[in-house]
Structure 1
Amino acid sequence: MSRILITNDSFFDKDYNETFSYQEKYSFFGVNEGTSTLVAFYKDLLKPVVGDKVEETFRDFVLGKAQTEQIKVIFEQQIDETLFFIEPIGGRRYRSCTLVWKGKSYDMNLSLISPKSRMVEDFHRIVTIAEECLQQNKPMYLSID
């Protein structure tokens, strides 16, 4: 099984319980083949950043500032391209959120019947992690296994 983990702190060098005892400081995005068909899609998006390393197995690979900026730009572009396809929520009760992006609000249906909204939420999570790492001048971590 293949998975991708993007984090604001190293993960695999810590005890599992220790890592999650400070969850308010730990931000991550994860996707794996056991629950998603999008692992290859995310690998393709990450390939311009890490090259052929995207096909290797590694844990807690430290991304430099330039690589973090590149990830931020790639996923901001994905948000811009995908927001066009967001379905309106309508009157149904679904898990939802409001995303404010470039000064405009988007109501997003996060149920399983609205995969584009869920993708935008994931892209935004990655952008947020990248922004945090850049603002705090700390590395971003990438794991693929």
Structure 2
Amino acid sequence: MNITIYNTSREDKSEWEWSQNLGQNKFYKAAGWSNFAFAEGLALDLFKQKLSKVPFKDESLSREEIEKLKLILENKIKELLSTRIPEPDVRTKVDFLGQTIGINFTPLGRNVQDNWIDKFFRAYKICEECLEENKPVYLSITE
């Protein structure tokens, strides 16, 4: 199962449209992950009704669902950060709750959870952006 969220609908755009927006200061953003999130209980209750109709694409989330998802992602990131050790080989920096965190999600990194932190952080930022701009987050769950 693949879970993807977007800051805009995806199915109504061609690959060309999706990639061409990068130079126009309007970024289409996506964050996705495999069923690890559901296996760990991430958002399982939030999406319980939606799971009954898998697969689906581009279903918009309500503001309440976005707020809940953002909180779930925030708590999951905090949990993953709680077991990290300092990373000497920083590949990416993320600003999370006023703290800059250097992550390395390559196989050479010291923290196996950095890949999940990166994925969940991108989803968190999409939720944050959409809440600030009062627009929906779009969810796709495919097999």
TM-score, normalised to structure 2's length?
Answer: 0.83
RMSD: 1.8
Contact 1:75 1:126 in 2 (8 A): yes
Q: How many residues align?
A: 134
Counterpart for residue 119 of structure 2: 122
**Structure 1 alignment gaps of length 5 or more:** 32-38
- Aligned equivalents of 1:14, 1:138: Cα separation in 2: 18
Cα displacement (A) at 1:53: 2.2
Cα displacement (A) at 1:101: 2.4
Identity of aligned residues (%): 29
Contact 1:95 1:111 in 2 (8 A): no
- Aligned equivalents of 2:93, 2:131: Cα separation in 1: 24
Identify which range, 75-84 or 17-26, moves more after superposition: 17-26
| 2:44 counterpart of 1:47 | yes
Contact 2:32 2:123 in 1 (8 A): no
Deviations 1:64-118 (A, max 9, x none): 100010110000001111101223223xxx4612233222332222212433112
Cα displacement (A) at 1:135: 0.7
**Structure 2 alignment gaps of length 5 or more:** none
- Aligned equivalents of 2:102, 2:135: Cα separation in 1: 32
- Aligned equivalents of 1:101, 1:10: Cα separation in 2: 26
Deviations 1:26-77 (A, max 9, x none): 010123xxxxxxx222233132222142251100011010001011000000
Cα displacement (A) at 1:20: 1.9
Contact 1:110 1:117 in 2 (8 A): yes
- Aligned equivalents of 1:135, 1:61: Cα separation in 2: 19
SS of structure 1 residue aligned to 2:11: coil
Structure ranking higher in helix proportion? 1
Mapping for residues 59-138 of structure 1, pairs under 5 Å: 59-90=57-88, 94=89, 96-112=91-107, 113=109, 114-138=111-135
